[in-house]
Amino acid sequence: MTETSLAVIRRLLVERYDELKRRLTRRLGSSELAGEALHDAWLRIAQADSVGVVGNPGNYVFGVAMNAARDRLRNADSRILSAAEVDGLLEIADG
């Protein structure tokens, strides 16, 4: 797609925000995560120089948002400490 097409994708995200958020909420099970994913999708699309051929811009935006949600979930999982790690940190603090 051309830069003009990126403008179409950006406009679609704004115009269909509520619909996209409902779809994402159903898929993800969280309205908050859906909103954060759409925000991240907006940032990714706004920073893009170009995209390849996009047959369905609505599905493209939904896919970008789903990928953003997956990234958020992965990052959240990596920040959770195990019980052993917490115990180790407490021992250091009590040191």
- Predicted confidence pLDDT, tens digits, the chain (95 residues): 455 588 899 999 999 999 999 999 999 999 999 999 999 999 999 998 888 888 899 999 999 999 999 999 888 766 665 677 667 767 765 54
CB 42 within 8 A of CB 65: no
CA 16-36-72 angle, 5° bins? 130
| pLDDT value, residue 81 | 59
DSSP the chain: --HHHHHHHHHHHHHTHHHHHHHHHHHHS-HHHHHHHHHHHHHHHHH-S-----S-HHHHHHHHHHHHHHHHHHHHHHHPPPHHHHHHHHHHHH-
Interval 44-67: pLDDT, tens: 999 988 888 888 999 999 999 999
Total domains in the fold of the chain? 1
Range of the domain at 45: 3-94
